[in-house]
């Protein structure tokens, strides 16, 4: 399961990493272009797993802008292409997030259950022993599963479960301390802050959101900065300057290709 042979096409793999990095910085148009090129090259070389990851990463870029319906299409294509744990987990967890965003809570829950079965072997390992290969082949998918599970619990009215899933994500990141994944650490803390807001700890959520917005901004992670500012603005009374900060960042991300469309669970 955790063999490195699947990742031997180094140039394709590096292309995927570049796209992920660009997306994390908020250079969405650059990331989408890189992913389109990667899909074509991966298909030409019959590298179905990287083709799947390129599709699901494209879906994630649309989903982070709120366009869950479009993301659903890309994640479906990712699932059709998947040939290994990483691709399958990314696709199915992505589909769960898409369905959550469209208000299809039952479908989201079933998809998370399906992904959990595939991720069970990596869930049984100690994150403190993970190297980059184990992280990319399973650990990353497991963390994303924790994120979406927490979000589903928040939106479906189970605050205690939301806090529990968020805590599981925090624990995973704490145990995998050696991995250089600052973006994932910030997002994990952000989801935990949102869960705190759901149980009524809005003061704590606001403090954490402000800290995470600063950390994400310092790291050049503009989409996460936007998400943290959105949480801050949602749980606290903010100044006109603070509202403008979020508006200006939204405009900047739009110029850089973020496909904003605010679907909401219903």
Q: How many CA atoms lie less than 13 Å away from 19 in the CB half-sphere?
A: 27
Mean pLDDT of 64-72: 95
Nearest CA to 187 among 23, 12, 6, 15? 23
Tell me the average pLDDT of the chain: 93
Mean pLDDT of 7-21: 84
For residue 240, how many other CB atoms are within 10 A of its CB?
7
- % of the chain exceeding 70 in pLDDT: 95
Q: Which helix (H) or strand (E) holds 259?
A: none
* Coil vs helix vs strand at 239: coil
pLDDT tens readout for residues 210-237: 999 999 999 999 999 999 999 999 999 9
Residue whose tokens read 């090259």: 41
Burial class (CB in 10 A: 0-12, 13-18, 19+), 3: exposed
Residue whose tokens read 């619990």: 153
pLDDT band at residue 262 under the 50/70/90 scheme = low
> CA–CA separation, 6 vs 52, rounded Å?
13
Burial class (CB in 10 A: 0-12, 13-18, 19+), 262: exposed
Which pTM value belongs to this model? Answer: 0.93
Q: What is the pLDDT of residue 10?
A: 79
Residue whose tokens read 């954490």: 208
For residue 118, how many other CB atoms are within 10 A of its CB?
19
* Tokens of residue 228, six digits: 């943290």
Q: Are the beta carbons of 152 and 108 closer than 8 angstroms?
A: yes
Q: Are the beta carbons of 57 and 23 closer than 8 angstroms?
A: yes
Q: Are the beta carbons of 190 and 224 closer than 8 angstroms?
A: yes
């Amino acid at each position: 399961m955790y063999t490195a042979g699947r990742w031997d096409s180094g140039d394709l793999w590096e292309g995927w990493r570049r796209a992920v990095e660009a997306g994390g910085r908020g250079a969405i148009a650059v990331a989408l272009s890189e992913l389109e090129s990667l899909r074509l090259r991966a298909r030409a070389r019959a590298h179905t797993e990287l083709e799947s990851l390129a599709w699901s990463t494209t879906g994630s870029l649309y989903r982070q802008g709120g366009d869950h319906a479009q993301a659903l299409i890309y994640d479906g294509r990712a699932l059709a292409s998947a040939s290994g744990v990483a691709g399958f987990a990314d696709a199915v967890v992505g589909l769960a997030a898409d369905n959550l965003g469209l208000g299809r809570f039952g479908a989201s829950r079933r998809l998370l259950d399906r992904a959990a079965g595939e991720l069970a072997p990596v869930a049984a390992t100690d994150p403190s022993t993970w190297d980059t290969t184990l992280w990319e082949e399973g650990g990353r998918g497991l963390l994303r599963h924790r994120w979406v599970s927490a979000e589903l619990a928040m939106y479906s009215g189970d605050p205690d479960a939301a806090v529990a899933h968020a805590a599981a994500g925090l624990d995973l990141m704490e145990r995998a301390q050696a991995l250089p994944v600052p973006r994932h650490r910030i997002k994990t803390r952000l989801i935990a802050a949102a869960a705190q807001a759901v149980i009524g700890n809005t003061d704590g959520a606001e403090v954490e959101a402000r800290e995470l917005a600063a950390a994400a901004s310092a790291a050049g992670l503009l989409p996460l900065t936007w998400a943290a500012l959105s949480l801050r603005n949602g749980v606290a009374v903010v100044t006109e300057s603070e509202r403008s900060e979020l508006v200006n960042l939204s405009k900047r991300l739009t110029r850089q290709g973020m496909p904003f469309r605010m679907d909401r669970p219903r």
